[in-house]
Every structure is written in structure tokens, then in C-alpha cells.
Amino acid sequence: MHAIDKVIKPQIVGMDIANINQLTARIQSSMVNNYSAKAAVEIAVYDLWGKLYNSPLYKMLGGGSPELETDITISVDDVDKMVADSLLAIEQGFKILKIKIGKNIDADIERVKAIYQAVNGAGQIRLDVNQGWTAKQTVFAAKALEDAGVQLELIEQPVKSQDIDGMRYVTQRVSTPIMADESAFSPKQVIHLIQTGAADIINIKLMKTAGLSNAIRIADIAAIYDVDCMIGCMLEGSIGVAAAAHLASARASVISKIDLDGPALGQYDPVEGGVNFDHAAITLSDGPGLGIQSIKGLQELTNGVWQ
């Protein structure tokens, strides 16, 4: 909150909300790193930009369908629990499962085989290794799963974020598409990943890119190179994820994969209006900006900072 109130805010107060490019450039240059703070301010600014022109954000960004479909994350656990969670997700209408692994490679292979067999074609399988394997381990695991008849949609960030050579080693040796996540924060990093053949897919997250402006750049860069993207999220609530959903709609030609299940996993959503998260179905409002009408329980502090 200090970064927003004391560093970013003084640099943008008084600027014209219509000058969205100037505004976001000022936000990005306001400090080094602190991606989440910049992202939060950019999301608010883009919301106001849409409100200024009385148009939903996804239409301001180019237009698209207000209907999206997300996958669901299956957390790493023992095999029986992961199989049960996967089957429950299928029953709830999810057609794509993102399986978290990366603890122990032999156990991981058995987890994936068991889930794939249990699901029996009712849903696609994505693997999120969370930097848990080496490059050679990834090649071994991918080929073992391929030989066992397991068809995966993708493998996400199998190696350490800084190991771009390792990513390229894997990408060149397996048929399953490899997706960069922690290796892909900035537009420059994405260009390097694509030009060196280190990844087949790029995972865009607003909390990595420091907001929408860089996320838009990354999507447009990927489109130039004909590289698919996923839109993902971290631990942000429905407001931050709503902004990501609007971007996904507006750049649907390149953002072909949706991983925005965070709000649907919460006990309740205090946000009224905006984006509706109903299991796998995500529906964008046609209200201006993000379409948010109110937030239950929001209170203003004496210094003007919301809590």
C-alpha cells in the first residue's frame, strides 16, 4: 500500500484518464519491480478509462466474446486424493484440468497416469511442474508419459525460471508443447524465449507483467510470431482476475488458453457486478470498465486509503 500511496499516486494524480498510454507509462516508470502494486494501479486506471467512454474494457481493447471457459487447478497430493479431486472437477463441468506436480518425478509420473486413466477422455490434462524438474528429468518424464499413451495439452515451466537453455533443451526434444511461466515476466523476456525456441506457449499473468499494458504488449508480440498464450492468475481476487478476463476476450485470437479459476475457488465473492465466475464458465459484464457496481464490506480509512 505504501508503494501505491506514496510512490505511484503522486506521479499520476492530475493526469487525464483519456491519455491511457501516458498514464500507464508513468506507472511503469514510477519504481523498479513491485509488479503487484503497478498492476493494481493499472487495473484501476483501465477501469476508469472504460468508464470514461461508457464501454466495457474488453470492447475498449478491441472487442471479443463475453463468454470464456477456464480450467481448474488440481493441487499436488497423494494419488487417490488427486484422482478424486479430478473426477469431482469433471462432475462440476470443468473440461480442462491443470495438474500441479514437481515434488518427485517418479511419483509425479504415476499421479498423471492415474488421473489420465480415471478421467478417461472426459477432460484435457495440463501439467504445471512449478520449476520442479531438471531439463533431462522433464524429457524423461514427458517421453515416459507419451509412451504410456498419456496425451497432454502442455507442460508448464518444468525447469527453473532462469534456465532458458534448459527450457530450449526440453522444447526441442519432446512433442508435448512447453509453456513458459516464471521465465516470462516482461515483453523482452518473451521475445527472447520465442526467438531462441525455448517455449511453445507463453503464460501471461497481470501480477507478473505489472499490469495490463505489458500484458497487451506480450499478447501482441506472441501474435506476430504465431505463438499461443495462456492467461493465468496468482492469488488475486475477482477484480484482478476480471481485468485478465477482459484482456483474454479482447486478444482471444492469441490467448487460446484460460487459467482463471481463482475466484471460483473462494468461499464467496464480495464484488457485485463485473465478471461472473461460475465453475468453468466466466461471463463478462457489459457494464463500463470492469463493470463492477459495488464491493461488500469495503470501508474507507481516514487517510483516504481503502481497506
Q: Which residues are catalytic?
A: 100, 205
CA–CA gap between residue 181 and residue 18 (Å, rounded): 32
Q: Which residues of 197-223 are buried (b: 16+ CB within 10 A; e: fewer)?
A: ebbbbbbbbbbbbbbbbbbbbbbebbe
CA distances from 184 to 162, 191, 274, 306 (A): 10, 9, 28, 31
Q: Answer whether 202's CB lies under 8 Å from 229's CB.
A: yes
CA–CA gap between residue 240 and residue 234 (Å, rounded): 9
